[in-house]
Amino acid sequence: MPFRFHPMEIPDVIRIEPSVFEDTRGFFLETYKRSEFAAHGIPETFVQSNWSHSVQGTLRGLHYQKPPHAQGKLVMVIRGEVLDVAVDIRRSSPTYGHWVSAILSDENRHMLYIPVGFAHGFCVLSQEADFVYLVTDEYAPTCDRGIMWNDPTIGICWPVTEPLLSPKDASLPRLEEIAADFP
């Protein structure tokens, strides 16, 4: 089996361990296989792939897209290490406002599946990091939204107190200030 699927404390978020085949030449692994993912409760079709490069201390997030262009994500790190975070923003969910995190790195090669209805962010722990993610809907600027990275009502334990933020991320609203995009 090319993948091991581990539901997290919020079980809709799933940490995925791919099987890695190594020899003297290097390694090979599958990053996505639709039939395997569907068999483990991830029936999504991914329609866009993105790659970001960031330096140590960078924090990107917490981002999401509202309907009708809401996005599920499959995220992975191909160089470096990040703390990856997902926040449940589905108002009717028993875990609304709760968060889960995982260390993703080029060494552990773990991935995280984050479904629609979650805000997502990450903080770069290594000197640099290359982050790749697949999404279930294309980027739609009119649906692009976010939540303040250090919202005290969420209480994420970030490894930095003064991260490198984009001007956009530095001015995001608190969870209580966002619309009910996910009832």
d(CA 13, CA 11): 5
d(CA 118, CA 91): 11
Residues annotated as part of the active site: 63, 133
Name the 3-class secondary structure at 170. helix
Distances (CA, A) of 154 to 85, 98, 122, 170: 11, 6, 15, 16
d(CA 133, CA 52): 9
- CB count, 10 Å around CB of 2? 14
Instruction: Please provide the size of the chain in residues.
Output: 183
